[in-house]
């Protein structure tokens, strides 16, 4: 059984881990709202980059607000982000 690819988001000093498939759903939702908000557009672009590179991305305030708005929709009501302090994710 293979491992699930994970994307990491740095949100105000906390690291949120999200499954690759859920990151794609978030990217698509942000992209759909990109014409209404620069935060949604930027979130879409950052998630796209994270999906390509599998590197942690840091969200700025506008992207954080866009993510919050998306996570409050019915489509994402079941999505849970695993959140840790940034220090907890450093290698020993």
pLDDT at residue 1 is higher than 50: no
Segment 75-92 shows an average pLDDT of 72
Domain boundaries, the chain: 6-81
Q: What is the tens place of the pLDDT at every residue in 24-67?
A: 999 999 999 999 999 999 999 999 999 999 999 999 999 999 99
Segment 8-22 shows an average pLDDT of 92
Contacts of residue 16, defined as CB under 8 A and 6 or more positions apart, other chains included, come to 8, 9, 81, 82, 83
Q: What is the pLDDT of residue 86?
A: 66
- Provide, rounded to the nearest whole percent, the portion of the chain with pLDDT above 90: 73
Global pTM reads 0.84
**CA atoms of 90 and 26, how far apart (whole Å):** 26
């Amino acid at each position: 059984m293979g491992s699930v690819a994970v994307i990491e988001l740095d949100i105000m000093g906390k690291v949120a881990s999200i499954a690759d498939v859920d990151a794609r759903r978030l990217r698509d939702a942000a992209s759909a709202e990109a014409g209404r908000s620069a935060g949604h557009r930027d979130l879409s672009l950052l998630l796209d980059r994270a999906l390509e590179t599998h590197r942690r991305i840091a969200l700025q305030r506008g992207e954080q607000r866009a993510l919050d708005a998306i996570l409050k929709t019915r489509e994402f009501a079941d999505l849970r982000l695993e959140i840790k302090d940034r220090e907890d994710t450093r290698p020993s």
